[in-house]
Structure 1
Amino acid sequence: MSKKTWGLVVIVVLLAGVAGAWWAHTMAPHRHQWVATPDEAGGVVYTCSMHPQVRQDQPGNCPICGMQLVKRDAAPTAKAEPLYWYDPMRPDQHFDQPGKSPFMDMQLVPKYADDAGADTPGGAVVTIDPRMAQNLGMRTAVVKAGTFLQRVEATGSVAVDERRIAVVSARAEGWVERLHVNAVGDTVRKGQVLAGLYAPEVLAAQEELAFARTLGDATLVSAAQARLRLLNAGTQAQRQDAIVSPQSGVVVDLAVRQGAQVTPGQPLMTLADLSSVWVQVEVPETQSNWLRAGQVAEVRFKGLPGKVYKGEVDYVYPLLDTATRTVRARVVLGNADGALKPGMYGAVTIRGDALHDATRVPTEAVIRTGTRNVVIVAESAGRYRPVAVVPGPERDGEMVVTGGLKPGQHVVVSGQFLIDSEASLQGAYHRMGAASAADATPGQRLDPKPDPEPDHAAGHGHGHGDDRDAGRAP
């Protein structure tokens, strides 16, 4: 390697060392400002609205979320004693003394009784400065109670009533010599001749009947008549056997043309009676649990403005469509004038029973985490408490909930996800679960922390949490 190359290597190493020293010098203040220190009485402190454990004696930005620190009176903080220390990246692990986190290369953060997330009789609480809440655009709504009318609004499509479909088929082999119905959509009446079929087998049976009558043999007459009944043919001998319509309706399928050869059992055409039709309604899974047959339904069609069709739920299908997460319900509507055509779409409203004294909140207030359903209750002085609820029916942007809420309380409907994230970071849900268990078992104290284990590392107390080794500092 040449002297010039060695010189370049030395210069690069020196520059890297200088840059590393400068970075360590600039980052050191930020690492230490994670640890809240007592302030002089009567002074001020700058803290983060989302992370109150961050305190410093001059303005700046939060080292955790980057928000601008806000000014706060430091007198209460000067007298406060930490409840415990924790790693912001592992908030479920608690430590009795300050020091460096055994998980991350950062100082442990103290937890004070007046910080967000402290336990109160109402449950875990997160505190946000009112000015910050206003800047974040947080909105609340009042918890209501009263009568809730169960109602589902969905889209439905008109379909043929499958109980009013008839298939016309050939009973014997032959040829279609005359076809009186020429196209799909033709209307027919019950008893109308649809086609003339030349069937040698039918003609032979008719001639046998005539010959038996001539002989006067009752046995032969009876046998010939039975054969004609099986062939669904008349008793008079004629070249063309008339095929008649079994019902009034519309031709929805035409399978043959004039001159075609047919075999026994071959379908010739399909008829549908449209005087009554079905409306297949796709009901969301979350609104299908209270559906049942007999409920009143109203259907409106854009192509028929101002007209409301009333019917009732005829059947609720037992299967769920896994692709759309909907349950199909069937509504029967009268269609005497034929205005409803299969394939038309309509807006369907199905009315259920009324729920009395139902507690309701805006649907957007409910946070669905996958493991539980939570709403954020807004309390006084910028305090917010997560409350677990059980969701029920929903309609028009409102949802019925049970458990944990009272009428008149305020729940957050905008910005609640920020509070939920902060509560999760501080382990608020863990303490909320412990408080609920303690309330459910009077006289028994439920401590989420396991028994302390001796810690031989200097500068630390006992670690708490599911992982006992997590409490030991290196």
Structure 2
Amino acid sequence: MKTLINNAFTIINYLVIFSFALGIATGCGSGEEAVDHDHAGETGQTTKNVVTISKEQADEAGIVLGSMERTEVFEKVRANGYFHTPPQNKAQVSAFYPGYVKKTSLLVGDVVKKGQVIAILQNPEYIKLQQRFMEVKGQLEYLKSEYDRKKILAGENIASKKNLMKAEADYNTTLAQYKGLKGELVMMGFDIDNIIAGNYTSSMAVRAPIAGSVTQVNMVIGKYIQPQEVLMEIIDTDHLHVELNVFEKDVLKVKEGQAMQLRLPSINNKIYKGEIHLVGKAFEGDQRTVNVHGHLKDELIEFIPGIYVEADILVKSTTVDALPQAALVSQEGKEYIFTRIGESQGNMEFQRLEVTTGIKGDGWVEIKINEQGDWKGRIVVEGVYFLSSGFEEKAGHSH
């Protein structure tokens, strides 16, 4: 009998202890959803679409509330390409007559002016050409006087018309030779007045046809240069343009006059402004792209031709209800935002809402909320990833 009483007393003690522990566990819920104790210190309590956090957690996460705004958002076409110079701003300099390089002092990177001497060539044949010019000049003067004399005689019926015609033919033939030689010497850079004065020279100056920077030097002292050889390349970088490649699916959206934003990944993250100038009418290569020619807005920008560039072409502008890109979070292939729905026992409650997005650009995203409600001033525009982590962690535990 005594043993039975003792056993009963022991059972009663266990029941009392169990009931007390159960009361503590129930009290912790305080009428809220059950807390995920592994993560309650991070994002607080979560239900299916609601997360509850303390004000301290909200401050630490940098949560900021805002509203959707009527914003002009540009649809963009992404393209890439390189800096180039127009054909009229690039020159490959050659000599008009073969010769040996006597003098050159320019290096790659040097700046030259239009008409500046970039090399001196030397060849004894230059003297022979000048002598030939002077011989033809003398012969032309004689034939001119003969032609004038016979024209007078023919007018007086003293000389036959046949002799007059021959004198005219000889004069015109020699005149053509004279003009050809003179044009050749001028093109070679010789001073005709010096040649007529008897100052012959075996040296020929090669001059820069445009102003710009030297990008190639293909000569050394003593090298024999042929007319088809390129002595030097000069590029005027004051008028660089951009050659972009636009894919077939986007080409019909691109028009002349559209604005574009340029980035140079290899140099900096700065945005440079430009404008579409020409759109190609044929596909280039196997990539099914069309060449698009763009101009920079700031002509003072100095870049090297060939630098890789990425561009956003602003093809369409639309005014929409939008939120900053930072206000959205993607989970399981869907887009969500968070709104503050209330406050309970010093904690803040946020609801996750699925949204439909539209045009994106300049850090803004068109938003269409799939649920009805007044969300003005209650949308989380900063700190959204802190709130979304509660759902991600809960999803991880469910697996």
Per the normalisation by structure 1, the TM-score is: 0.44
Distance 2:203 2:338 in 1: 81
Report what 1:255 is aligned to: 218
- In the superposition, relative to structure 1, how do residues 364 and 258 fare at CA in structure 2: closer, same or farther (>3 Å)? same
Report what 1:417 is aligned to: 388
Long gaps (5+) in structure 1: 1-38, 55-60, 73-114, 118-125, 153-158, 283-288, 300-309, 320-326, 428-474
Report what 2:368 is aligned to: 403
Report what 1:189 is aligned to: 113
Structure 1 position 358 matched with structure 2 position 320: yes
Q: Which amino acid aligns with 2:65?
A: A
Distance 1:48 1:391 in 2: 42
Secondary structure of 1:191 counterpart: coil
Secondary structure of 1:175 counterpart: strand
What is the identity percentage for the equivalent residue pairs of Structure 1 and Structure 2?
A: 14
1:142 to 42, 56, 66: 66
Secondary structure of 1:390 counterpart: strand
Count of residues paired in the alignment:
284
1:202 CA displacement = 5.5
1:401 CA displacement = 1.8
**CA displacement, residues 197-231 of structure 1 (integer Å, 9 cap, x when unaligned):** 22456555555454445555544664686588689
1:162 CA displacement = 5.0
Q: Contact 2:258/2:314 (CA < 8 Å) preserved in 1?
A: no
**CA displacement, residues 236-255 of structure 1 (integer Å, 9 cap, x when unaligned):** 56422232221233444433
Report what 1:331 is aligned to: 296
- In the superposition, relative to structure 1, how do residues 425 and 362 fare at CA in structure 2: closer, same or farther (>3 Å)? same
Distance 2:29 2:325 in 1: 33
Structure number with bigger Rg: 2
Distance 1:291 1:423 in 2: 49
Secondary structure of 1:267 counterpart: coil
- In the superposition, relative to structure 1, how do residues 389 and 175 fare at CA in structure 2: closer, same or farther (>3 Å)? same
Secondary structure of 1:333 counterpart: coil
**CA displacement, residues 300-342 of structure 1 (integer Å, 9 cap, x when unaligned):** xxxxxxxxxx9843669999xxxxxxx997525345xxxx655
Distance 2:236 2:368 in 1: 51
1:394 CA displacement = 4.5
1:385 CA displacement = 2.6
Distance 2:39 2:332 in 1: 29
Q: Which amino acid aligns with 1:191?
A: G
Secondary structure of 1:172 counterpart: coil
Secondary structure of 1:418 counterpart: helix
1:266 to 226, 229, 232: 229
2:92 to 136, 149, 167: 167
**CA displacement, residues 420-466 of structure 1 (integer Å, 9 cap, x when unaligned):** 42686799xxxxxxxxxxxxxxxxxxxxxxxxxxxxxxxxxxxxxxx
Distance 1:182 1:256 in 2: 10
**CA displacement, residues 351-388 of structure 1 (integer Å, 9 cap, x when unaligned):** 97996753232322222458443323443463513313
Distance 2:97 2:331 in 1: 66
Long gaps (5+) in structure 2: 1-21, 77-82, 141-169, 245-252, 264-271, 285-291, 344-348
Distance 2:31 2:95 in 1: 83
1:127 to 26, 31, 50: 50
Q: Which amino acid aligns with 1:271?
A: I
Structure 1 position 116 matched with structure 2 position 79: no
Distance 2:112 2:70 in 1: 54
C-alpha RMSD of the superposition = 5.6
1:169 CA displacement = 1.6
Report what 2:341 is aligned to: 379
1:175 CA displacement = 0.5
How do 1:9-408 residues align onto structure 2 when only pairs under 5 Å count? 44=26, 52=33, 62=36, 65=38, 67=40, 116-117=47-48, 126-131=49-54, 134=57, 137=61, 139-148=63-72, 161-163=85-87, 164-179=89-104, 181-184=105-108, 186-199=110-123, 205-216=129-140, 217=170, 218-219=172-173, 222=176, 232-233=187-188, 238-273=201-236, 276-278=238-240, 293=257, 295=259, 312-313=274-275, 331-335=296-300, 342=303, 357-369=319-331, 371-380=333-342, 382=349, 384-390=351-357, 392-395=359-362, 398-404=363-369, 408=376
Q: Contact 2:73/2:364 (CA < 8 Å) preserved in 1?
A: no
Distance 1:199 1:49 in 2: 104
Per the normalisation by structure 2, the TM-score is: 0.50
Report what 1:80 is aligned to: none
Q: Contact 1:147/1:354 (CA < 8 Å) preserved in 2?
A: no
Q: Write 1 or 2 for the structure with the bigger share of helix.
A: 2
Q: Contact 2:74/2:318 (CA < 8 Å) preserved in 1?
A: no
Q: Contact 1:278/1:332 (CA < 8 Å) preserved in 2?
A: no
**CA displacement, residues 249-303 of structure 1 (integer Å, 9 cap, x when unaligned):** 34444332443322222222233335x3548799xxxxxx99975649899xxxx
Distance 1:332 1:423 in 2: 51
- In the superposition, relative to structure 1, how do residues 362 and 192 fare at CA in structure 2: closer, same or farther (>3 Å)? closer
